[in-house]
Amino acid sequence: MQNQAFNQDSADIDLGVKYTKNDWSEITINDRKSAAGNGSASGHASVLSAHNIDYWVKVSGGCCKSADKQILTNISAVFKQGMSAIMGPTGSGKSSFLDVLAGRKDPAGVRGHLLLDGKPVPENFKCMVGYVVQDDVVMGTLTVRENFSFSAALRLPSSVSTGERNERVRQVIKDLGLTRCADTKVGNEFIRGVSGGERKRCNIGMELIISPPVLFLDEPTTGLDANTANTVLMFLRKLSRKGRTIIFSIHQPRFSIYRLFDNLLLLSQGVTVYHGPAREALDFFKTQGFICQEHNNPPDFFLDVINGDLRALADDDQTVDDDLETEPVSQHDMLVEGFKKSQWNQRLRSEAEAISNEFESNRCNKGDKHEKIEYATSFGRQVGVLAWRSVRNLIRNPETAGITIGSSLLFSIIISAIFWQLGGSTDRDVKDREGVLFFLIMNQMFFNMSAVEIFINERKLFMHENMSGFYRVSSYFIVKLIFDIIPLRMVPAIITSCIVYFSVDLRPGADNFFLFMLCLFMTCLTAACLCFLLSSLIRVFSVAQLTLALSYVLMMLFGGFLIQFDSIGDWLSWLQYLSIFKYGMTALYIIEFKDRQFCNGTTCFDGNLSLAQSDMDFESTWDFWQNYVALAGLSVVFLILCYIQLRRMKKTT
């Protein structure tokens, strides 16, 4: 019965039909070439073929050794216009194969070749296709329309006019049925946004903006309820009918979803078990002696058979012998061998060979190559668009700025209340002044720990956007620095200086005040740069925070205030030069104490004595300025390391 429904439903399917409509959203590959500069063949949906793909990864073998692990073995496949599903048990290699097809895996581990319309896929193929990842990769603080506009502004070439870009955005919103929520924020942990289905469609829309020749989706139904999953898949099917090649991995769909598939690739342990029309998959299993029960769901049945669960085959009133239940290895081998000898494999081989032969015969033809894909927009434009998003994000996400401002205010008020209008006459007053400076530097460093979030929260978004060719690493980096790191560090420095400096009654003089403020800002900035570096290196927030706290404690320990440098020992004393704490404290001490006398009628306390007791160099101008130079130097080193790390992350998943 199910099969019948399937066949009826699929009767209108005509793969590889010529596409003729004029609507932009139904743009052919050739149209896209003129629009985006990255085209392929004209008039037809693209055909992506994989020829004898093997994929290895390096896994740690212990004791500093690494070993190769084969994930995919000799997979050939042809994907044409329509809905192509990659299915298989968990760990069968679905996502790996999808990533290989989309050019998102390290080419060093991939053997075999990929052809798009019979030509080798271009370098940077991943920037040309649409890839919808499993996780959300849209900015929650922006509306659906703003997210699409962001994608259009960066991924369509500058030659596409603003009017045309807006029209594309409008059309994608209409095609995806998002008109009602187009001006609603997508939402994040703080903002209640659009529904799950709308969010998924928004992720798809980000890719559709460029009218990609092939659209990949990694488990598009994950996290969606049954109804929403149906709607999303129905939408994809409609899209495929308009001339798109849609390839997606999916785990175990319901029948109502399965019946929408045109093509099916079944994987088990990284090997093909079936590849052909989805509606013929049951026939293949029948030829291998596996008959699906009448009311069983075909995807469940396929996975049960592949996993060696024979209950899928038993009649209701039969009991299954436990010994028969689990022979997955032999069943897997049997299916793999069965497919190799089947008519479906013959058909696949002849199709793949025809494409491959055509490619081989054209190989000497120099012009028969896809163009190399470059970024669609200039560095300047990328910086402008990213800045626009950053500023909006900052304004609409007031919690981050609010916490920074609130905590600075609170801390400044507490410090002011405790050390209100310090006199300057006794040893105790001098000690209190030292205490204020100590707390201020500690505050600038520790209150910065929220900056660890700078990148951890955005890691997935950055990885996806960078890999998909939205922007260069350098554009992202510059914008992050100018519109995120620097402004958020200036605010606490300004607030703290303005409140604490006068209420505590630190050294009078405008020059002293501004040097004091600069020192707090530099300390804060250097600490934020360290946070940025750690957040790019470490994925887990708690681990990054712990590492940061440990670094700060070590910096305080080796800063020379809690222990004399002489006592540290030569082999460890070099660590003082990495201490943000040491540089910040030294600069503040010199501003406050150098050449100053704290007198009370008869007795005076020499400020220089305090500096000397703290083992500080303070005599020359350079002794003072070297602290600022060192803080700037450390910031630059942290930023360079961070930039290198972001570039390293860029290449592949």
- Nearest by Cα to 347 from 302, 288, 280: 280
Nearer Cβ to ligand ATP (69/111): 69
Sole window of 74-82, 84-92, 309-317, 443-451 interacting with ligand ATP (rule: CB under 6 A): 84-92
Sole window of 85-93, 279-287, 350-358, 612-620 interacting with ligand ATP (rule: CB under 6 A): 85-93
Hey, CA dihedral for 389, 394, 395, 397, is it positive or negative?
positive
Nearer Cβ to ligand ATP (275/489): 275
Nearer Cβ to ligand ATP (249/331): 249
Measured from the CB of residue 62, what is the shortest distance to ligand ATP in angstroms?
14
Nearer Cβ to ligand ATP (269/393): 269
Do residues 194 and 183 make contact, with C-beta atoms less than 8 angstroms apart?
Answer: no
The correct pick among 25, 33, 53, 88 for binding ligand ATP (CB under 6 A) is: 88
Do residues 599 and 646 make contact, with C-beta atoms less than 8 angstroms apart?
Answer: no
Q: In which residue are the tokens 């960066």 written?
A: 154
Do residues 495 and 443 make contact, with C-beta atoms less than 8 angstroms apart?
Answer: no
Binding residues with ligand ATP: total (CB under 6 A):
14
Measured from the CB of residue 71, what is the shortest distance to ligand ATP in angstroms?
4
Nearer Cβ to ligand ATP (286/651): 651
| Calpha distance 387→371 (Å, rounded) | 30
Number of other CB atoms surrounding residue 539 within 10 Å = 12
Q: Sketch the per residue contact string, 245 through 264, with ligand ATP: x for CB under 6 A, - otherwise.
A: ----x-x-------------
Do residues 84 and 13 make contact, with C-beta atoms less than 8 angstroms apart?
Answer: no
Measured from the CB of residue 535, what is the shortest distance to ligand ATP in angstroms?
22
| Calpha distance 201→179 (Å, rounded) | 12
| Calpha distance 416→422 (Å, rounded) | 10
Given strand 65-79, what is the order of strands in its sheet?
A: 65-79, 48-62, 110-116, 119-120
Nearer Cβ to ligand ATP (59/410): 59
**H or E stretch covering 56:** strand 48-62
Q: Sketch the per residue contact string, 138 through 177, with ligand ATP: x for CB under 6 A, - otherwise.
A: ----------------------------------------
Residues 6+ apart with CB under 8 A from 403: 450
Nearer Cβ to ligand ATP (50/631): 50
Sole window of 87-95, 139-147, 160-168, 521-529 interacting with ligand ATP (rule: CB under 6 A): 87-95
In 544-623 the beta strands, taken as DSSP E runs, fall at 597-600, 603-606
Measured from the CB of residue 273, what is the shortest distance to ligand ATP in angstroms?
12
Nearer Cβ to ligand ATP (91/423): 91
- Residues 91 to 130 in contact with ligand ATP, rule: CB under 6 A: 91-96
β-pairing, 597-600 with 263-268?
A: unpaired
- Nearest by Cα to 500 from 517, 522, 485, 515: 517
Nearer Cβ to ligand ATP (133/534): 133
Helix (H, G, I), strand (E, B) or coil at 249: strand
- Residues 47 to 76 in contact with ligand ATP, rule: CB under 6 A: 57, 59, 69, 71
Hey, CA dihedral for 391, 394, 396, 401, is it positive or negative?
negative
| Calpha distance 127→315 (Å, rounded) | 50
Measured from the CB of residue 270, what is the shortest distance to ligand ATP in angstroms?
7
Sole window of 88-96, 155-163, 459-467, 610-618 interacting with ligand ATP (rule: CB under 6 A): 88-96
- Residues 397 to 416 in contact with ligand ATP, rule: CB under 6 A: none
Residues that bind ligand ATP (CB under 6 A): 57, 59, 69, 71, 88, 90-96, 249, 251
